[in-house]
Amino acid sequence: MKKQIVQVIGIIFIYFILSVFIIASFNIPNSGFEIENNTPQLSNKQSDNLEAMVIESSPDIDLNTYRQKYNNQDIIARLEIPNLFNILITQTSNNDYYLNHSLSKEKDTKGTEFIDYRNTIHSKQINIYGHNSRTYDLPFRKLENFLDKDFFNQNKYIILQTEKERRIYEISAIKEVNNDTEHMNINYHGSKFVSHVSELLNNAINKRNLDYDEDSNILILQTCSYDQDDSYYIIVAIEIE
């Protein structure tokens, strides 16, 4: 009888552990810094002019409100990819600080998405970096959605809102780079810039053919890839004139 009781208790304990594990798996924490009232879900089928719809429906925010909320003057923009995320972007004097600090400037291994310190908000090429994660639901983890051909085809636009303007970019490619730092070169102009963009689009996983020339502006989003060591996914987007 005692043996049967022990067995029953053992089974109950196992079920308890499994239940805790399952519940935990559905509550993976995210970065906690996404902006409320994201752009409504959009589909190419909804409008013949999706670009206009994206711009019209994208919420406008007062960056000073968030600077005060997080006591952080490094907040300089918001970055939105409709159907994916809508987040605040920081910038400081180096590319290290926000790898392990939150919007509130507290130590945090999840970090915060940030613009390359070499950029200005009006740069011809703007690079924005953010962590990927297998544990946390971080915004730039969602960039992996663009590896899916259907998702890539149905989601085109990136909105970068600064203090005084919005810059609208159309996504041209997603690619994986390993020991390739071409996207870190941010000061090309003229014919060298055209060659630079061509190189960035080469060997893309998914790609749409967009026009670009010496006068174009581009946006690069970078996050880590777990596909191989020391590799990154980069999104290449071209500003809509």
Domain ranges (residues) in the chain = 44-239
Per-residue pLDDT, 228: 82
Per-residue pLDDT, 164: 87
Is residue 231 a contact partner of residue 238, using CB atoms and an 8 Å limit? no
What residue type is 204 in one-letter code? A
CB atoms under 10 Å from CB of 39, counted, come to 21
Distance CA 41, CA 54 (A): 10
Please state the separation of Cα 126 from the chain's center in Å: 13
For the entire predicted model, the pTM comes to: 0.81
Q: Please name the fold of domain 44-239.
A: Sortase; Chain: A; (2.40.260)
Res. 227 pLDDT band, cuts 50 70 90: confident
Per-residue pLDDT, 239: 97
Range list of H helices, the chain: 2-25, 50-57, 63-70, 149-154, 190-201
Res. 58 pLDDT band, cuts 50 70 90: confident
Per-residue pLDDT, 99: 98
If you ran DSSP here, which 8-state letter would residue 161 be given?
A: E
What residue type is 172 in one-letter code? S
Please tell me the least confidently modeled range out of 10-14, 18-22, 51-55, 167-171.
18-22
What residues contact residue 2 under an 8 Å CB cut-off, 6+ apart? none
Distance CA 125, CA 116 (A): 10
Is residue 58 a contact partner of residue 137, using CB atoms and an 8 Å limit? no
What residue type is 62 in one-letter code? D
Res. 230 pLDDT band, cuts 50 70 90: confident
Secondary element (H or E) of residue 178 = strand 166-178
Res. 28 pLDDT band, cuts 50 70 90: very low
Per-residue pLDDT, 37: 43
